[in-house]
Structure 1
Amino acid sequence: MSPIQSEQFDFIIVGAGSAGCALAARLTENSTFRVCLIEAGGKDSNPFIHIPFGLSLLSRFKNINWNYNTAAQPQLNNRKLYWPRGKTLGGSSAINAMCYVRGVPEDYDRWNNQGAEGWGWDAVLPYFKKSQDQQRGSDAYHGVDGPLCVDDLRYVNPISHTFVAAANEVGLPISSDFNGNEHEGLGLYQVTHKNGQRCSTAKGYLTLAQGRENFTLISRALVEKIIIKDKRAVGVALQINGRAHVLSANKEVILSSGTINSPQLLMLSGIGPKQHLSNKGIQLETDLPGVGQNLQDHLDAIVQYRCQSKETYAVSVGKLPRYMQAAVRYWHKRNDIFSSNIAEAGGFVKSQFADGLPDIQYHFLPAILLDHGRQTAFGYGYGLHVCNLYPKSRGTISLASADPAQPVVIDPQYLSHSDDQKVMIDGIRQGREILQSKGFIQYRGEEVLPGIDMQTDEQLLTFLRENAQTIYHPIGTCKMGADIDEMAVVDNQLNVRGIERLRVVDASVMPSLVGGNTNAATIMIAERAADFIKAHYRQD
């Protein structure tokens, strides 16, 4: 933690995650702006953060994770699902699977049509390009020289290549670039890597800010509320090592705390649904009924096989010599197995219920995964993660209490819309077809999940209720929208309605899910927000 040289700043950013680090780097480009970034977690010093293959162990380190759990989910046999979120510099970009995916242009045009005016594809593409340092070079879709390095994998397991090649047999295209002009099909993911290591926003962006005199980083600090006077955000109250502090913001307070913590902090500060805040004994500053509403996430199910071959990644004595060899190669050249993100291949396909766009995403893992990696899976195998890209189910974030140290109630209401059940079942069927193609014959052993006896829609729905989990893409709880939308929390420049000098800049402002992983879009939002802020204060 940097010592607090000043109690006053121009901008206070709460949360050093995917958005917060990017925003801090861009705002500090203006040397007249004094910027303070506050993070609840500590430094990103765990080596498994930076070694891509270390992803398989990250869920076991509770000190870099908020370790949330949902409320019991009625449509999932009342299970409480584990929701990991990054609690370290870089936030969830420090613990995610590093797949770089933007979605499709129609996702952002939909935002525009939903009331987030000015957020259509033509407006956001330049910011995707600005953020990016694309290994393959610049083109109509990609940029170079940005802080976020996007590379091809330096090592790909042979079975991942088999998965991609299966496209020819099942009638799907092969995509060489999921972020180019061919989104549909199977292919290899590009990843947020730099020189064979993870490129989180802490590595790509925060290092830029840390070299500037106008920047202050405060870590291991819990922000308890936004200080509001006369409908204007003027600072934050926080706890550092058990001591209370107050920091003042001369220009703005910006929440980049994510889909869970940003609405929590708004509500703790008196901004949210009037009755809910009254029930928790919180003084109302402004009645914003949309705070904590509109929660959306990608639900995930795994089609899992045991493997007859020893090509896959595994916890096995027989694999140790290969891992030792790979460790030496990674140490010297940053390649081989330890440069893999494990989720090397995947794809986008249409279910029979799709409305013109691929509505199913696959992540193929040449490994067995148990309980998000929190349990050790012995033996050889491979699995296909299946998720519904455009769920119709909507959930909520609400306060459990007025105590800032207490987690909120996370209620995604998974599968509460029957259409979501149908899409997931169809995705499993298509996934099975891919894994039963000829190329997999040399590897294929027993289908462990759902299991060969699970064939009917009813049986597959039972499987989903017993086994489905999050794939870590929550959004929407402080959504952007038009003035006439009473559920909109922020306007199209991310200003919180009813409170001056307060913005939300993170995935919570997305009105609806994009058709893919959400990290790239979150960084794009921060890039765009920085330009909004710079333009505003040039006018002052």
Structure 2
Amino acid sequence: MSATREEIVADYVIVGAGTAGCVLANRLSANGKYKVMLIEAGGPDRHPMIHIPAGFLRLLDHPSITWNYKTAPEAQASDREILFPRGRGLGGSSSINGLLYVRPFAADIDAWEAGGAVGWNFANCLPYYSRSETWQDGSDPRRGSDGPIQVTRVSSPPAVCAEVIKAGQELGLDMIDDPNATTRGPSIWYYQQTRHGRVRSSAARGYLWPAASRPNLSVHTDLHVTRVTMEGEGASRTVTGVECQSATGDVVAVKARREVILSAGVIGTPRLLEMSGIGDPGVLDNAGIRTQVALPGVGNNLQDHYVTRLCFRIKGIATANERSHGAALAREVAKYVVAGGGILTYSAAVIGAFASSGLVDRPDVQFVIAPGSFKEGRIGELENEPGLSFGVWQMRPESRGHVHVVSSDRSQAPAIAPLYLSSELDRQTTIAGLRIGRALAKQPSLAPYVVGETVPGPQADSDDALLQYARDNGSTVYHGVGTCRMGADPAEGAVVDAELRVYGIQRLRVIDGSIMPTMTSTNTNATVLMIAERAADMLLSEAQHALGDGAREGARHPA
């Protein structure tokens, strides 16, 4: 039996219900003037591990909640395929990430404007960080008080955490109470979480759930967008909508009266552009796709933080390890069910730090410090014995990779090549970061509890040995950005302009983390929330101006 065809019409069509898509669906539908359609290839966010904060450990390679992407083997990463988790389903990666909320350094955003993204400076963007959040720890003019995403402190961290903080101070790091409201130098602090009580505060929970009943918002899950549809030629080429395929094989044509917005993320957005014939003609030719709009920057400029972990055996003080097995774990489950506390509310790390390698003139190493240690030093299953782990990454990597389709067959995954550690500065900063982590473990407050380093171990003593360990064991820390970068000149690799409109075609925008010209030094989810909030204001302002112009035109030329 042949597949049926259905047609739907909306004002704004949003592709991807991840962090940015959920923000846009809420904000664009709020005034009731526009019909908004949100399309998601994955399913509803019903899996219980999405909502239990510590459940993220079980989701990173989940067969239906992620896209199961892996990077291409690369020489600098020991020719390994590295798991590259991307959320699939409502909330996208905000439903599977480690819940860590960190705003960037002001200089990170100012660099966007300096590179040609007019108006994208930290002062202009700061109000949108605040708009997105509710900071649960009192009133602070630098923090948001009524935003959809709930941000809170880690509750009741294990005793070892206080000693790590003291050790950081002994190493020369300033203790900061709120890293999201303070100018940052070398410092140590407790991470903040996107958590509301016992549950994850994802973009779906914060933005989409409250808006889902609006009559002008329709949310379609398990609907895969296969291409962007367009008409016209040359400079007049215009996007008309998208074509989708349902789980049953039916074709759904969606028409956009105003715009199509791609919010499918750092992998999904360039992939969809290329599948639609928008991209580098050479890449498209190799994949057997006819070029519709030549735009060479699509899929390039991939940036990510590459994390490597040190693990230590601990004695004489409480860590999370001994609470994660057997009867102790049963007690933690009961504590979570009854009171909403305990280790099931923990996230990817409890303590963070910014440190300086000495290779550049500002902090360039970030730490994710967990009061537990993972088997083989890789995030996942905690060891049985007490332990501590320091994740280390370079904050502003120079390495640049790419994401490109390899075939016109949409069932084939794109080639993902971050080119980790391809820059000498990245390699040297990684080595320096591992040495700083070792120095932290030797400080007077922490050293009495450290039995020894288990990963990589004392045998990895030279720079060459540390670099080889990083090549053999490092991984993504889930911060991929940049593959549809914002900029002033498409000839130099820009894909969207400062209003996030795709060059060379009308009525098509990209609004997600792929537009970042350079990545933020810190965790990226807070910045994706900001981008979507600011973009929603842009769209609504443009629509209002267009309405005003239309009304004035009608007054001049009455029917």
Q: TM-score range, shorter-chain basis?
A: over 0.9
Asked if 1:369 corresponds to 2:370, the answer is: no
SS in 2 for 1:294: strand
Give 2:374's aligned amino acid.
L
Partner of 1:96: 97
- Root-mean-square deviation (CA, aligned residues, Å) is 1.8
Q: Report the Cα offset of residue 274 of structure 1.
A: 1.3
Return 324-333 or 513-522, whichever deviates more: 324-333
Matching of residues 476-491 of structure 1 within 5 Å = 476-483=482-489, 486-491=492-497
User: After the TM superposition, which residues 196-345 of structure 1 pair with which residues of structure 2 at under 5 Å, given as runs?
Assistant: 196-230=198-232, 231-241=237-247, 242-309=249-316, 311-314=318-321, 319-345=325-351
Query: Do the aligned partners of 1:154 and 1:196 also contact (CA within 8 Å) in 2?
Result: no
Name the SS of the counterpart of 1:453 in structure 2. Answer: coil
> Could you tell me how far apart the structure 2 residues matched to 1:436 and 1:116 are?
44
Does residue 1:148 correspond to 2:153, yes or no? no
Give the conservation status (yes or no) of the 8 Å contact 1:59–1:373.
no
The range that moved more, 506-515 or 189-198, is 189-198
For residues 378-420 of structure 1, give each alpha carbon's deviation from its aligned partner in whole angstroms, at most 9, with x where no partner exists: 4331110000011111101111211122110000111111111
- Contact 2:404-2:415 at 8 Å conserved across structures: yes
Per-residue deviation at 1:211? 2.3
The whole-number CA distance in structure 2 between the counterparts of 1:77 and 1:484 is 34
Give the match's secondary structure for 1:404: coil
Does residue 1:503 correspond to 2:503, yes or no? Answer: no
Q: Distance in 2 between matches of 1:141 and 1:336?
A: 29
Q: Which stretch of structure 1 is more off in the superposition, 175-184 or 95-104?
A: 175-184
Runs of at least 5 residues in structure 2 that lack an aligned partner in the other structure? 547-559
Pair 1:472 & 2:478 matched: yes
TM-score by length of structure 2 reads: 0.92
Secondary structure of 1:522's partner? helix
2:518 maps to which residue?
512
How far the C-alpha of 1:375 sits from its partner, in A, is: 5.4
CA contact (8 A) 1:108 1:120 kept: yes
The alignment status of 1:40 with 2:41, answered yes or no, reads yes
| Structure ID, larger Rg | 2
Match of 2:464 among 446, 458, 471: 458
Name the amino acid aligned to 2:477.
I
Question: Helix, strand or coil: the match of 1:237?
Answer: strand
- Equivalent residues of 1:7, 1:247 under 8 A apart: yes
Question: 1:163: how far off?
Answer: 1.4
Match of 1:190 among 189, 192, 202: 192
Question: TM-score if structure 1 supplies the norm length?
Answer: 0.96
Moved more, 368-377 or 517-526: 368-377
Structure 2 residue matching 1:63: 3-state secondary structure: coil
1:432 maps to 438
CA contact (8 A) 2:61 2:68 kept: no
Aligned 8 A contact 1:57 1:373 in 2: no
Q: Tell me which of 346, 360, 368 is aligned to 2:365.
A: 360
Matches within 5 A, 1:133-144: 133-144=134-145
CA–CA separation in structure 1 for the residues paired with 2:385 and 2:365: 28
Q: Does 1:108 align with 2:113?
A: no
Residues 62 and 68, structure 2, Cα contact 8 Å, conserved in 1: no
After TM superposition, give the deviation of residue 443 of structure 1 in Å: 2.8
- Secondary structure of the 2:466 match is helix
Shift of 1:145: 0.6
What is the DSSP-based 3-state SS (H/G/I as helix, E as strand, rest coil) of the residue aligned with 1:463?
helix
| Partner-residue secondary structure (3-state), 1:290 | coil
Whole-angstrom CA distance in 2 between matches of 1:378 and 1:287 = 55
Query: In the alignment, residue 305 of structure 2 is paired with which amino acid?
Result: H
Cα drift, residue 40 of structure 1? 1.2
| Contact 1:39/1:219, CA 8 A, preserved across alignment | yes
**AA matched with 1:297:** D
Report deviation, 1:312.
Answer: 1.9
Aligned partner of 2:121 in structure 1 is 120
Match of 1:76 in 2: 77
Note the C-alpha offset of 1:515. 1.1
Structure 1 residue aligned with 2:416: 410
Pairwise CA distance, 1:168: 2.0
Unmatched tracts of structure 1, length 5 or more = none
* C-alpha separation in 1, matches of 2:258 and 2:197: 38
Secondary structure, aligned partner of 1:166: helix
- 1:239 to partner: Cα distance: 1.0
